[in-house]
Amino acid sequence: MTKLQVKAFVFQLLSFATLFILGRYLIESYTYLTGLWIPFTAFAVGTLLAPKFQAVKTNDGEKLFMKWMFLKGIKEIK
């Protein structure tokens, strides 16, 4: 794995983990879900809302891109 691929993986993991923990807390506090429904729902929310990061080899070298449902198009990170 290249340095940018590792960076993309870490960004993906941190964004998902943040949204998962936040979603789990909010679901547990404000809904009537119990048991395994709380983490399953938080997983689905985190998966859908987290931005997607990917390292791509281009003619100019390897670059890091991000796609998120709240931003239009694909953004170049580095």
Confidence of residue 67 (pLDDT cuts 50, 70, 90): very high
How far apart CA 70 and CA 46 sit, in angstroms, is 14
- pLDDT tens-digit series, residues 24-58: 999 999 999 999 999 999 999 999 999 999 999 99
**pTM for the predicted model, two decimal places:** 0.90
pLDDT, position 1: 85
pLDDT, position 14: 98
The CA angle 67-69-72, to the nearest 5 degrees, is 70
